[in-house]
A = this chain, B = another copy of it.
């Protein structure tokens, strides 16, 4: 498979999932009469980033290996306002018959060591392209705006070279991750109270 063809198919897979997310957003907004999603965005991993990841894992650095071994070549991120919506969105997405759930990683109930929180769905989605049908693997990240805000600092920290300084700040950042999780829970509870008034 050519690189150009791969990019077009990846973009098409992203378009399909963005269309699905948009419809779920409208459906839930009508049902619950409030804002659900803040943003939906997609990205294809750059060749440089793929290369680096394959080398780090000791794998052959080519597109074929990448497609077989990496789950996050194609990524879609859904940012919503409230914690419970994260799970509702995931449920509606995965019950659709053309989406096959490969794995669910709940980094909200069990955050990563550094404090990172998000619900990850690794899914396979059929792509009809030219005369062929193929399957594309996509990593869908669903998170609240509070978690998304946190991840901005986490990302800034990622590329620092002074490891010991970064580790120290990282500990503080992890603590805030817990505060953010706490705030998300409280805001959701309050929203439930408001809806009952």
Known: A153-B187, A183-B180. A22 touches B15 (CB 8 A): yes
Interface of A is mostly: helix
Closest chain-B Cβ to A109's Cβ sits at a distance in Å of 21
A26 CA to B193 CA, complexed, in Å? 40
Closest chain-B Cβ to A26's Cβ sits at a distance in Å of 6
Copies held by the complex: 4
A113 within 8 A of B: no
Contact call B153/A190, Cβ cutoff below 8 A: yes
Which B residues are CB-close (under 8 A) to A95?
A: 130-131
A71 within 8 A of B: no
In-complex Cβ contact of A97 among B96, B133, B187, B197 (8 A): B133
A22 CA to B15 CA, complexed, in Å? 10
A52 within 8 A of B: no
Contact call B169/A197, Cβ cutoff below 8 A: yes
Q: Which of A56-64, A116-124, A135-143, A156-164 contacts B (4 or more CB under 8 A)?
A: A156-164
Which B residues are CB-close (under 8 A) to A152?
A: 34-35, 81
A1 within 8 A of B: no
Contact call A129/B16, Cβ cutoff below 8 A: no
